[in-house]
Amino acid sequence: MAHQVRGRGGPRRAVPRVRRTGRSRLRPHPAAPPRAGEPMTGTELVLYLDGVPAGTFWQNAAGNIGFVYDASWRANPRAYPVSMSMPLAATEHRAKPAKAFLWGLLPDSSGALARIARENHVSATNPMALLRAVGRDAAGAVQLLPPGATASDAGPRNVNIATLTGSEFEKMMISLANHDEDWDPGAYGGRWSLAGAQSKVALTKTSDGAWGVPQDSTPTTHILKPGIRGFSNHEINEYLSQRAAQALGMSAAQTELIDAGEAGAVLVSTRFDRALEGEVLHRLHQEDMCQALSVLPDKKYQKDGGPGLAQIADLLSNTSLGDRGNSRRAMFDAVVFNVAIAGTDAHAKNFALMLNAEGQQLAPLYDMASALPYEKRLTKSGPLLAPMRVDGEDRFTAIGRKHLIATARRFSIPAAEAEERIDRILTGTADAYTAAADELTGEVRTSAHEIAHAVRDWGELRGWIEKPPTIITSPAKTAVPKQGRVPKGTPAGGQYDVKVNDEAPDIDLTNV
């Protein structure tokens, strides 16, 4: 049975009481082909936001994709845009923004896309067809369903899960870790679409700590990620990074580490796009920066033509007036933090916006990790590079204070305030990692401190934190035997004459 290796990284969140179904529903089963009469390409998909129809994605015979808002959604005083790239002011949006939004809901892994396509007899290059199969529980508030289907969220929401036993949960985590590109969640009865390249699964957690596969209208509450093959202790790395960011005053997704038996440590991240009202679990809408900027996921890195900090700064300048200042500061802090940890995966898809009737806000930080524990492996082909250039510089070894100050200006942050933020984060990150490692126990704690040491060594190398003085004690006063034996009858007869070497110099290398 899985158990925690530490307490939660923050206050306990309410968990709805759950109606559980029998475990017979969890038996592996083959994927069902589309029903007779249903189009293989999914020419239309109705988009629901927390159970309310907001519009329809369409695809014509030529493969072109577009989106049209429902008139009732646009007339709703509490309406908000599906994407910053598809404002409510226009009824219809074609091609680039619609396509980028849909692809952003799907896994980045070609293996995962191929598995979904194979099981549902559709093309792995058609996002409409793929989401027709797995769009029932997508990121944020999104559900995508064929026309005529009723969104389960639109009716009474009976929280209902198929509970996993301890052994079932452990087997799921082992399977997930061993199939990082083509894991089949369908074998457990679920239908999920989680964006990103890393293997992960979304589950629902009960008030008594059990894990379950959501049924019908029940949203998932947590995202679980085992380690990544080839990157030792990456799950611990991400946990430390999230906790350190929180300790430095940043809003970051709540995480914990659990021991999943043979599967090892598993990172559990509480979904920030869920909210509990009474006993009803609501979906909150979000989109990543690539979706917001109409950029396809394969262009998420700036070197591949993806967004940079300048585009994100401009995007935040167009968010709701009351939120943009806080969002700019939060984004700038994240930039500084990723410089402090050499966060090579801090690309545009790993930042998101929350969209609601009140406006748009930068989402809590997520998927953060340091490349420093893997530096020797990663630098064989060149230096560690930032995924988004900082004032034109992408080499982490070269990004300095002047680059960060210039970036602060781009985010409309005054110089004095920027200096304070830079100092606080660059000087405090190593201690924050150490404190997070101290919260853990057992072998996980040992591994965590190795990661924390790598971050500290980097900070010392860059001169952001002082290197502790190296104190070498003076040589011990040596005993030198006098040649020859003292004749018997003398006070020291029968012994070597011991001479203390008082001329050995006292050496202080404290400041060397």
pLDDT in tens, 443-474: 999 999 999 999 999 999 999 999 887 777 65
Catalytic residue, candidates 50, 259, 333, 345: 345
Residue 409 has pLDDT above 80, yes or no: yes
pLDDT tens for each residue of 38-86: 443 449 999 999 999 999 999 999 999 999 999 999 999 999 999 999 9
Q: Do 49 and 142 form a contact (C-beta atoms < 8 A)?
A: yes
pTM of the model: 0.83
Alpha-carbon span 292 to 299, nearest angstrom: 13
Closest CA to 405 of 396, 418, 388: 418
Active site residue 457: no
Residue range 472-495: mean pLDDT, rounded: 50
- At residue 39, the pLDDT reads 40
What is the model's pLDDT at position 507? Answer: 33
Q: Note the pLDDT of residue 99.
A: 98
Residue positions counted in the chain: 512
Per residue in 365-393, pLDDT (tens digit) is: 999 999 999 988 777 778 999 999 999 99
Most confident of 309-313, 500-504, 506-510: 309-313
Region 409-423: mean pLDDT is: 98
Strand partners, 485: none
Average pLDDT, integer, range 145-163? 78
The pLDDT of 325-330, averaged and rounded, is: 98
* Mean pLDDT (whole number) for 192-212: 77
Q: What is the pLDDT of residue 47?
A: 97
Percent of the chain whose pLDDT exceeds 90: 63
Mean pLDDT of the residues in the chain: 84
| 13 confidence band (pLDDT: 50, 70, 90) | very low
Phi, psi of 17 (to 5 degrees): -70, 145
Mean pLDDT across 411-438: 98
Please tell me the distance from the alpha carbon of residue 63 to that of residue 103, in angstroms, as a whole number.
14
Which residue has better confidence, 389 or 490? Answer: 389
Confidence band for 442, pLDDT divided at 50, 70 and 90: very high
Positive or negative: CA dihedral 98, 104, 109, 111: negative
Does the pLDDT at position 11 exceed 50? Answer: no
Q: What is the DSSP letter of 485?
A: P
Question: What are the DSSP calls for 438-478, one per residue?
Answer: HT--HHHHHHHHHHHHHHHHHHHHHTSSPPPPP--PPPPPP
Confidence check: pLDDT of 309 > 60: yes
pLDDT of amino acid 199:
77
**Strand order across the beta sheet in which 52-59 lies:** 92-94, 65-69, 52-59, 44-49, 142-145
Give the confidence band of 181 by pLDDT, cuts at 50, 70, 90: low
Average pLDDT over residues 342-346: 97
For residue 94, pLDDT over 70 is answered with yes
- Does residue 274 register a pLDDT over 80? yes
